[in-house]
Amino acid sequence: WNGSNNNLVVQICDMIMGIPDYARVIVYLQGVNDVSCSTLPPTTGCAPGESKFKAGVMTDAQNKETKWWLKERNNRNCFRKTVLKKNWFKRNSYSEIEEC
């Protein structure tokens, strides 16, 4: 590559189907700065520009009193659009939800 006598390696680590589809790739000079897909942090499975959100709730015997929602702030700085919500939980248990 570029006169170094080393190969430029482009490797596809993950291909994620979604809107839009995308791939996680690594690019390196073989023998100079070798890396591998296994040494990279795991992907979130979210589309580019999105992050993984995880919420957990521990309920007591009064599980019907427990609910939560996550709302998105609009351009007027008000919370209008509900992005995620959960309003039914098992009694005396831990529940978790994970979404992009």
Q: Which residues of 47-81 are buried (b: 16+ CB within 10 A; e: fewer)?
A: eeeeeeeeeeeebeeebeebeeeeeeeeeeeeeee
Whether residue 92 has pLDDT greater than 80: yes
The pTM score is 0.43
- At residue 1, the pLDDT reads 59
pLDDT tens profile 43-90: 667 777 777 777 878 788 877 777 888 888 888 888 878 888 887 778
- At residue 51, the pLDDT reads 74
pLDDT tens profile 1-60: 567 788 888 888 888 777 677 777 888 888 887 778 776 666 667 777 777 777 878 788
- At residue 44, the pLDDT reads 67
Helical spans, DSSP H, in the chain: none
Q: 68 vs 3, 7, 30, 100, CA distance in Å?
A: 59, 53, 50, 17
- At residue 40, the pLDDT reads 65
